[in-house]
């Protein structure tokens, strides 16, 4: 990326955050963090017709990418801080884009995915388990079990606890929310997460490399009796899908490497 280059979505985000203050995500990596979450889902087989639930969608950092990529009516977001969603729609999208893509939102504070009445192909929780209590994580695992397809995938980012003292045991959300203006992050033990998944017949794997903002990805799916044929894209398939998407967002971006460099809009 050229020195000094700023994408349109980054410029819009900086205007939004400068006017309305901290909205739960860092300004300097707004564009990059959202884009990397889209790339992670593409690696797991995301297609335009996939039904995606974006948990804690906030001011639509990742939704910007997903709503543009997905077919109309395929994006769903849960966010109790309603004002953040409204800011995201105001600054990151045109009214025509919203009308055409028909994103669906719910503002319940309980991670209740059943409100939409459908089964999802993907659950996404970017930078949610870095704030959620263990009881809230259990609610999300139960929601995935109940409201995802048999081949569904849950991608969630987290910060691994380095010791027992580092493993959050509180019963409340930590960080800004619809109820708090105090920032904060927490860590959870991978051993505890694995135990909770196994209790529910779910499989969990920590993916290699950094997810975004110094966090790491966990991939959760249903147990072996429901395990689908491997559908994640080959590198060539990922390039083709990225190229199609990028030509809609930014005609000058011609290959997968540009998805890492350009940021559309």
CATH of the domain at 135: 3.40.50.150
**pLDDT, position 227:** 47
Provide the CB-side half-sphere exposure for 79 (13 A, CA).
Answer: 28
Q: Say if 209 falls within a structural domain.
A: yes
**pLDDT, position 252:** 43
Tens of pLDDT along the chain (265 residues) come to: 445 678 999 999 999 999 998 888 888 889 999 999 999 999 999 999 999 999 999 999 999 999 999 999 999 999 999 999 999 999 999 999 999 999 999 999 999 999 999 999 999 999 999 999 999 999 999 999 999 999 999 999 999 999 999 999 999 988 777 766 777 899 999 999 999 999 999 999 999 999 988 999 999 999 864 444 444 445 555 555 655 565 555 544 444 444 544 434 3
Q: Say if 1 falls within a structural domain.
A: no
**pLDDT, position 84:** 96
Q: Say if 263 falls within a structural domain.
A: no
Q: What is the pTM of this model?
A: 0.85
- Tell me how crowded residue 90 is: count the other CB atoms within 10 A of its CB: 14
- How many domains would you assign to the chain? 1
Q: Say if 254 falls within a structural domain.
A: no
Domain that holds residue 51: 8-232
**pLDDT, position 82:** 96
Q: Say if 242 falls within a structural domain.
A: no
Q: Say if 252 falls within a structural domain.
A: no
**pLDDT, position 261:** 44
Q: Say if 264 falls within a structural domain.
A: no
Q: Say if 245 falls within a structural domain.
A: no
**pLDDT, position 178:** 74
């Amino acid at each position: 990326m050229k020195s000094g280059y700023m994408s349109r979505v980054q410029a819009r985000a900086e205007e939004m955050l400068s006017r309305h203050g901290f909205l739960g995500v860092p300004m300097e990596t707004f564009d990059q963090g959202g884009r990397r979450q889209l790339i992670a889902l593409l690696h797991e087989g995301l297609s335009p017709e996939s039904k995606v639930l974006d948990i804690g969608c906030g001011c639509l950092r990742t939704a910007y990418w997903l709503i543009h990529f997905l077919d109309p009516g395929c994006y769903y977001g849960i966010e109790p801080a309603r004002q953040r969603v409204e800011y995201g729609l105001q600054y990151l999208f045109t009214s025509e884009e919203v009308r055409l893509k028909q994103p669906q939102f719910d503002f319940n504070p309980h991670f209740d995915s059943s409100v939409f009445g459908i089964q999802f192909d993907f659950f996404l929780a970017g930078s949610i388990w870095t704030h959620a209590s263990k009881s809230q994580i259990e609610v999300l695992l139960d929601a995935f079990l109940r409201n995802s397809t048999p081949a569904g995938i849950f991608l969630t980012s987290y910060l691994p606890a380095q010791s027992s003292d580092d493993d959050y045991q509180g019963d409340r959300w930590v960080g800004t929310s619809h109820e708090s203006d105090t920032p904060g992050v927490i860590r959870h033990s991978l051993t505890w997460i694995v135990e909770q998944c196994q209790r529910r017949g779910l499989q969990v794997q920590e993916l290699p490399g950094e997810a975004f903002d110094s966090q790491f990805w966990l991939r959760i799916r249903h147990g072996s009796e429901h395990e689908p044929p491997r559908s994640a894209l080959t590198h060539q398939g990922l390039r083709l899908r990225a190229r199609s998407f990028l030509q809609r967002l930014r005609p000058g971006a011609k290959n997968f490497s540009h998805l890492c460099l350009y940021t559309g809009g």
